[in-house]
Amino acid sequence: MGFLDRVGARSPWILHFDTGSCNGCDLEVWALLTPRYDVERFGGVNKANPKQADILLITGPVTKKCEDRLRNLYEQVPEPKLVMACGNCASTGAPFHNCYNVCYGVDKVIPVDVYVPGCAARPEALIDGLTKALSLWEKKALAAKEVKE
C-alpha cells in the first residue's frame, strides 16, 4: 500500500439495526462503543446513517414487520458493504424457534458475511467478528477500487 493509499483510506462506518432481538446483543454492541471495549481503536465508528455506512451490524431474528425495513436499509447502503449477524438469533433464529412471527435469521432476508455466535454474544466475540469484518471489508474495498481503475 503506497503513501497516497494509506492517506486516502477511511474508517468503515457501522450501522446498527435491531430487527426484533431481546436487546441482549444490542447492549453488548453498546458496551463495545464504550471505554472498556472501545472498538474505535480498530477504526469502526458507529454512525446511524445507512447512506454513509459500510458495515451493517444486525441483531435479532428479523420479525416479519422488520423484514422490509431491513431489505430497504441494505439497499440504501452503498457498495462495498458488509453484513454482520450478531448473536444466535441473528445467525439462525434458534432461541426463538417456536415463534410464529420471525424469519429465523438475517441470511433469510439479506446476504450475511460474518456470523457472531452467542446468546447474548459476548463483547469479546463481537470484537473478534468485527475485526474479521474489517479485514474482509478492506479486501472488498480494494477489489472494488481495482475494478474501477
Partner 1 sequence: MSRSTIIPFGPQHPAFLEPLNVSLKLDGETVTGAVLNLGYNHRGMEHALSLDYKKTQYLAERVCGICSNHHASAYCQAMESIYGVEIPERARLIRSIMMECQRLTSHLLALGHIAEAVGYENLFMQCFRERELVMRLVNEISGNRVHYSINVIGGVKRDLDASMEKRAAEAMTKLRPKLDELRGIFARDSTLSKRTKGVGKLTETQARDWCTVGPVARASGIWEDVREDSFAAYGMLHLRPVVRAEGDCYARTMVRMDECLRSVDLIEECLSLLREGPVAVDVKGHPTGEGLGRVEAPRGELVYYVKAVGKLQLDRIKIRTPAFVNVPPVQVLLPGCQLADVAVITVSLDPCICCTDR
Binding residues vs partner 1 (CB under 8 A):
15, 17-28, 30-31, 34-36, 48-50, 60-61, 63, 65-66, 69, 73, 95-102, 119-120, 122-123
Instruction: Tell me how far, at minimum, the Cβ of 97 lies from partner 1, in Å.
Output: 8
89 phi/psi in degrees, rounded to 5: -70, -35
Inter-residue contact 49 to 78 (CB < 8 Å): no
Tally of residues, the chain: 149
Q: Output the smallest distance, CB 137 to partner 1, in A.
A: 21
CA distance 90 to 21: 8
The minimum distance between CB 38 and partner 1, in angstroms, equals: 9
Closer residue to partner 1 in complex, CB, 19/92: 19
- Interatomic CA distance for residues 120 and 27, integer angstroms: 9
Could you tell me which residues are beta bridge partners of residue 18?
59
Q: Closer to partner 1 at the Cβ: 99 or 143?
A: 99
Find the shortest distance in angstroms from Cβ 95 to partner 1.
Answer: 5
Nearer to partner 1, 37 or 142 (CB): 37
The residue (of 52 and 135) whose beta carbon lies closer to partner 1 is 52
List % helix, strand, coil for the chain (3-state, nearest 5): 50, 15, 35
